[in-house]
Structure 1
Amino acid sequence: FRVDARPGHEDVRTGIWSSPAELAAAVHSDGDPHPDPLVLVCAHGRHDACCAVRGRPLAAALVADDPEGTWECSHIGGCRFAPALVLLPHGLTYGGVTPADGPAVVREYGRGLVVPGLLRGRSALPPAVQAAQHHARAVTGATGVDDLGVADVDSDGRPPGHTSWRVTFHHPDCVIEVRERFVEVDRPLTCAARPAGRIRVFDLVDTRT
């Protein structure tokens, strides 16, 4: 499978290769259109045991509904949110999805909807924009997969290295400003982590609708 998760370019293509030497050609060929979504569940226990312990039951619950489109996968980031779920081709990443909740999350995706309470963001967008989109969904109540397209980021020309962003969205229209900071924590963030660690958060600064 080759996936394009960029907004407006969502696409899944398939190809066949029988040896590593053929892989590059298979990836760069047009391939065959794959009409159905793909569901990835991180089960990479070597990277972090939590991903396998929590991810494999989630994958099993999803396989019951869609055995062809559900895949266990390697590390996708955000182990502290295990079990982690990725919905393709949109690249929607969910965290803390239980086996009981997983099938409903996937069914909503099939209807073109997200589940905001579990949604971590969209992989094709920068972290600050993902955070701004989260706040925009909370402000507007928008739950469509394609809602809140990004119209502009940092329209006021702030210099590189700044820690705040102003993001303009359309459908529905709103402007969200977020500020980045890091929070120190005195506990392991994942099964494999060692304290102390820190997490990045994006605080909501301002909204305009």
Structure 2
Amino acid sequence: MAAVLKPVLVASPNLVAQKGVPYYLGDGWLVKGYSMSYLSLTEQMRGVSLLAVIDRILMLDDLWTHHVENGRPGKADLDSLDTITAEIINLLEIASREASWVSQVVSRDEEKTNQSLTLFAANTRISADARQNLSSKLLEKPGLVEFIRQASEKLPERVELERNDLQKKISKLREGQGVPGDISKNTKCFLQGLCCGVTAGVALVSGSVSEGIFAGYQAVELGDCF
């Protein structure tokens, strides 16, 4: 059995040496040698599905917000907003059901999880501020793994609040009242916590992570989530 090795930064900030094998973290992931993923293949498939769900939530939320905050929507748009609202709620419930699983997989071997998250936090596809944010979370107490656990624990209760809030907003829109867009910052924080829990394990293997997910890391300050 291969020993668990800590990643060592080498000459270039975009290179990580792992048992003498370079990992290039540029526009995508190029991983040579063996994978450091803390997820099995079945778990990686499940993680990809969860990331797709969260990515779609964020995109639909942007679409919903744009139409709500840029003029009073007409009847056709209200019907479409109803459909978007129902889908956001459904997707939030799917993400909520996966929360306990995410907490379990990151807790199974925290050292290996942290190694993978360290590589993920160096990915240059996210902004320098976002990389610093993630790296700081890894170093400070209670750490990024604990943030993921807390996010996984708190998301289900937030989903019920979002359901009620979105339904109230739709009712007000149909009455001709204006409403603010966006799902809450806390809900976005907890969704990003789930993303952190699976993105590193998937990205290190597949080399493919949605731009929307990376954009989310740039928009949410993890340190302000709790």
**TM-score exceeds 0.5:** no
Which is strand-richer, 1 or 2? 1
TM-score interval for Structure 1 and Structure 2 normalised by the shorter chain: under 0.3
With normalisation by structure 2, the TM-score equals 0.22
Greater relative CO, 1 or 2 (CA 8 Å, sep 6+): 2
TM-score (norm 1): 0.24
